[in-house]
Homo-oligomer: A and B are copies of this chain.
Amino acid sequence: RTNKQRLWDSLMEMGEIGGTEKGGCCRLALTDLDKQGRDLFVRWCEAAGCTISVDKMGNIFARRAGQDDSLPPVVMGSHLDTQPTGGKFDGVYGVLAGLEVIRTLNDNGIETRAPIEASVWTNEEGSRFPPAMVSSGVFAGAFDLEYGLSRADLDGKTMGEELARIGYAGSAEVGGRPFKAFFEAHIEQGPILEAEDKRIGVVTDAQGQRWYEVTLTGQESHAGPTPMPTRRDALVGAARIVDMVNRIGMEHQPNACATVGLMQVFPNSRNVIPGQVFFTVDFRHPDAEVLARMDQALREGARRIVEDLRLEMDFEQIWHSPPVPFDRDCVASVRKATEALGLSHREMVSGAGHDACYISRVAPTSMIFVPCEDGISHNELERADADDLAAGCDVLLKAVLERAND
């Protein structure tokens, strides 16, 4: 069994870095705060006897040697970056659960046949640098290194520049080495486990996602003397598309999600008709075909709206992450561990993307979910229960041991 209190204390200590008044955490990827969080993780891992390596995307691997160190490692992990209104658990839990597994093995003097690694993946959230899961994506060959390092925030700063600035542009090649298995523990970020009073989600799949960037261009002009019929108001166009995105999501229930999360209005002055609006669209569905129909509806609907309003549109799908089926054996290891521990559980599909989604392309992978309060995350009020977190960590320990010793 892992140490519930130690896991909790580590989560709380990490959560202070970027901690917010409302009890959440704002530690955007590759900021000074992200550096502080990484430094703390590295210190803890070194104290636990691990060897650290950092790759060119800033992914961190803390390795606990195995009896046969030539075997591929069993890897655990997730991410330390958060949303602007993030919580203390999303990502961080999967990282520190990995560390807790290593600490528990140390406490009990347990050796494993294969080495074990706890990992941190850079910029999973995709909030500062879109898209999400960039660095596990590079690791898995979904993106090339060039693409990863050139992702830029809204101020034009690139991941490459910011990695160098905070001292986490490592020298290891990104990917190209085998994992025996990869396990990611995470809060569910949805309401299902809590509603059904289950402790553990045995994650079998992750839904597909498509992300878009849209720029509408009309003509800025005076809000007073410019007659309505002659206007080309980019915000009216954006508003109609936001509403349509929402309807597309509702029309593809159950399971579809459709969100406009980011919008920038130009020139953003009260008495100026907006001349340009930039916004993003996030579509999700577990079924690739439904996701394709949603894509179709968006493209056709947006075209009609901008034609009506005589706007110009720049429309780009910037990311497509197809639905992911996790490895049957890894899923079975998680289920077995859960049952052996006598924990209530159910199978589930992940609504969020996770580093595990990309890693599953290059290694047998699965995930372990624990409940979070009201299913809320990407919110400062995100909360999880210490017992649930410890239970998920115990499942992780058991699944890892099985894989590392088989």
Known contacts A267-B85, A270-B262, A257 near B226 by CB under 8 Å? yes
Question: Does A268 lie within 8 Å of B261, measured CB to CB?
Answer: yes
Known contacts A127-B271, A235-B242, A223 near B282 by CB under 8 Å? yes
Q: In the docked arrangement, what's the CA distance between A83 and B254, Å?
A: 46
Q: In the docked arrangement, what's the CA distance between A259 and B232, Å?
A: 11
Q: Which of A222, A228, A269 has the most CB of B within 10 A?
A: A222
Question: Does B269 lie within 8 Å of A262, measured CB to CB?
Answer: yes
Interface flags for A104-135 (1: CB within 8 Å of B; 0: not) read 00000000000000000000011100101000
Question: Does B271 lie within 8 Å of A230, measured CB to CB?
Answer: no
Cβ of A37 within 8 Å of any chain B Cβ, yes or no, is no
Q: In the docked arrangement, what's the CA distance between A20 and B173, Å?
A: 45
Q: In the docked arrangement, what's the CA distance between A398 and B209, Å?
A: 68
Contacts of A164 in B (CB 8 A): none
Question: Does B253 lie within 8 Å of A242, measured CB to CB?
Answer: no
Contacts of A265 in B (CB 8 A): 261-263
| Interface window among A360-368, A370-378, A387-395 | A370-378
Contact among B222, B226, B353 with A224 in the assembled complex (CB-CB below 8 Å): B353
Residues facing B in A254-301 (CB within 8 A) are: 254, 256-275, 280, 282, 284
Known contacts A259-B223, A261-B270, A282-B271, A228 near B211 by CB under 8 Å? no
Cβ of A84 within 8 Å of any chain B Cβ, yes or no, is yes
Q: In the docked arrangement, what's the CA distance between A272 and B87, Å?
A: 12
Q: In the docked arrangement, what's the CA distance between A230 and B250, Å?
A: 11
Interface flags for A314-356 (1: CB within 8 Å of B; 0: not) read 0000000000000000000000000000000000001111000
Contacts of A350 in B (CB 8 A): 224-225
Q: In the docked arrangement, what's the CA distance between A96 and B233, Å?
A: 32
Interface pairs (13), CB distance under 8 Å: A126-B270, A127-B269, A130-B270, A190-B224, A224-B352, A225-B375, A226-B351, A228-B258, A261-B269, A262-B268, A263-B263, A270-B282, A275-B379
Cβ of A238 within 8 Å of any chain B Cβ, yes or no, is yes
Question: Does A273 lie within 8 Å of B259, measured CB to CB?
Answer: yes
Q: In the docked arrangement, what's the CA distance between A309 and B199, Å?
A: 31
Question: Does B225 lie within 8 Å of A190, measured CB to CB?
Answer: yes
Question: Does A219 lie within 8 Å of B271, measured CB to CB?
Answer: no
Contacts of A254 in B (CB 8 A): 227
Please list the 5 inter-chain residue pairs (A to B) with the smallest Cβ-Cβ separation, ordered nearest first.
Answer: A225-B351, A190-B225, A239-B242, A223-B259, A224-B352
A interface size (C-beta, 8 A): 72
Question: Does B190 lie within 8 Å of A227, measured CB to CB?
Answer: yes
Q: In the docked arrangement, what's the CA distance between A253 and B207, Å?
A: 47
Q: In the docked arrangement, what's the CA distance between A236 and B263, Å?
A: 12
- Least Cβ–Cβ distance between A319 and chain B, in angstroms: 9
Contacts of A267 in B (CB 8 A): 83-85
Contacts of A235 in B (CB 8 A): 242, 260-261, 263
- Specify the chain B residue showing the minimal Cβ separation from A132: B271
Cβ of A49 within 8 Å of any chain B Cβ, yes or no, is no
Cβ of A246 within 8 Å of any chain B Cβ, yes or no, is yes
Contacts of A275 in B (CB 8 A): 85, 379
Q: In the docked arrangement, what's the CA distance between A207 and B242, Å?
A: 32
Q: In the docked arrangement, what's the CA distance between A211 and B189, Å?
A: 40
Known: A83-B269, A188-B225, A271-B282; 6 extra A-B contacts, CB below 8 A, are A127-B271, A220-B379, A228-B257, A239-B242, A240-B243, A275-B379
- Least Cβ–Cβ distance between A302 and chain B, in angstroms: 13
Contacts of A158 in B (CB 8 A): none
- Least Cβ–Cβ distance between A331 and chain B, in angstroms: 18
- Least Cβ–Cβ distance between A369 and chain B, in angstroms: 10
Contacts of A126 in B (CB 8 A): 270-271
